[in-house]
Amino acid sequence: MSIRMRPRSSAIVLAYASCVALALLCLPASTSAQNAQQRQAAASAFDRGTTAYLQEDFATAARYFEMANDLAPAAGALMQAIIAHQRAGNDLRAASLSLRLVARFPDDADMVGRAQGVLDELSERFLRVDVDCDAECAVEVDGVLSSHDSFFVDPDAEHRIGATFDTGTVEETVQGAAGEVRTLTFEAPEGAVRLEGPEAEGDTTTTAPNPLEGADEPTATPEESGGISPAFFITSLVLTAGAGAALVWSGLDTLKANDEYEAAIDEGDFVSAQQMYDDGQDLELRTNILIGATAGLAALTVVFAIVTDWGGSDDDDVALTLRPQIALGAKDRVGGLVMEGTF
């Protein structure tokens, strides 16, 4: 990656690049209950979303961030999807995902606060629909499956809301003005007899198995499961976090040097500006080296997260909890960047 001492628009790209390495290591190991394939796929989707975001392809970034959250639910990934949708001009989807985040991660005060801020800004522009089913159901909005039972739709238009139960589908139309909230209650229709309790013996009605049931459970016994010690992952994580911190510091230092260089140009002090430009090339080289080093360590951390035996043993019990909370977002007023993260 090449970084030049140019106007602030290029400097913002540098700040974004400083966040990529930190984002890489936060999502993949959010919980040891996720199987390795899901974590790997989620990490890949999150990485692609970050790349698309840096290229300002916000619609594509939003899709990848949503995919990452679907594979390995994480408030940070969902918040990234919300931000990307807003940058892409898709406020309707951003508002619906904010409802989903608040309901899915109620204990994450920081992310809930961010999502609530989006709702405060957008909720008055759309019609909110809350679906209440008397049994487990899948909700569809205008023929499209919804990921949550509360969502927003365009106001002043008729929408078809469906609820699919194991005994059939019930539909209803809804229409309302912006800012209104409509609650739809669905009851499962009478249909095939469901197997419940010993009295169902002899009933020939069966239910198709859920292909996702048990997907998160390990298939091997503790004796058969392999993997390396969590100590490798923890060590790599610490090294990556340290390199990432150094990368962020170097990026901010380069931004500061860029400001001083531009100020010297504005004041007509071209002698000092030339010296600052030369110094800036050194800062640029240092930052590029740190980007490569951090990215390499982050990739190694992802690999360790996948091959680590998280089950542990009675003699070697290592507990590790990661809370991925990195949010990227441009502040249009000052041309800066929101960059936060906790572990």
Residue 75 covered by a domain: yes
44 or 280, higher pLDDT: 44
Pair 186, 173: CB distance under 8 Å: no
Residues 106-119 have pLDDT tens digits of: 999 999 999 999 99
Query: In the numeric block, which tokens belong to residue 215?
Result: 């997907």
Q: What's the whole-number average pLDDT of the chain? A: 74
Pick from 221-230, 244-253, 318-327: least confident? 318-327
Mean pLDDT, residues 127-135: 94
pLDDT band of residue 59 (cuts 50, 70, 90) is: very high
Pick from 187-191, 220-224, 239-243: least confident? 220-224
Side by side, the strands of the sheet bearing 144-145 are 144-145, 138-141, 159-165, 168-174
Looking at the chain, the whole-number percentage of residues with pLDDT higher than 70 is 67
Residues 195-220 have pLDDT tens digits of: 444 444 444 444 444 444 444 444 44
**Count of domains for the chain:** 1
Residue 142 covered by a domain: yes
Residue 159 covered by a domain: yes
123 or 14, higher pLDDT: 123
Residue 185 covered by a domain: yes
Report how far residue 202's alpha carbon sits from residue 198's, in angstroms, rounded to the nearest whole number. Answer: 9
| 305 CB-contact burial (10 Å; exposed 0-12 / middle 13-18 / buried 19+) | buried
129 or 190, higher pLDDT: 129
Q: Answer whether residue 1 shows pLDDT above 70.
A: no
Looking at the chain, the whole-number percentage of residues with pLDDT higher than 90 is 37
Residue 70 covered by a domain: yes
Neighbours of 41 (CB within 10 A): 18
pLDDT at residue 5, rounded to an integer: 42
127 or 15, higher pLDDT: 127
Residues 79-103 have pLDDT tens digits of: 999 999 999 999 999 999 999 999 9
Report how far residue 121's alpha carbon sits from residue 238's, in angstroms, rounded to the nearest whole number. Answer: 38
Pair 159, 106: CB distance under 8 Å: no
Query: In the numeric block, which tokens belong to residue 316?
Result: 């070697």
pLDDT band of residue 193 (cuts 50, 70, 90) is: very low
Residues 136-152 have pLDDT tens digits of: 999 999 999 888 899 99
What is the residue whose two structure tokens read 């009933």? Answer: 203
Query: In the numeric block, which tokens belong to residue 48?
Result: 């692609």
pLDDT at residue 268, rounded to an integer: 65
Residue 294 covered by a domain: yes
Q: Residue 283: which domain range?
A: 8-189+228-340
Residue 143 covered by a domain: yes
Residues 24-57 have pLDDT tens digits of: 344 444 444 447 778 888 888 889 999 999 999 9
Among residues 137, 146, 94, 135, the alpha carbon closest in space to that of 117 is found at 94
Report how far residue 286's alpha carbon sits from residue 296's, in angstroms, rounded to the nearest whole number. Answer: 16
pLDDT at residue 226, rounded to an integer: 57
Report how far residue 179's alpha carbon sits from residue 152's, in angstroms, rounded to the nearest whole number. Answer: 10
Residue 194 covered by a domain: no
Report how far residue 229's alpha carbon sits from residue 55's, in angstroms, rounded to the nearest whole number. Answer: 37
Pick from 59-73, 224-238, 274-288: least confident? 224-238
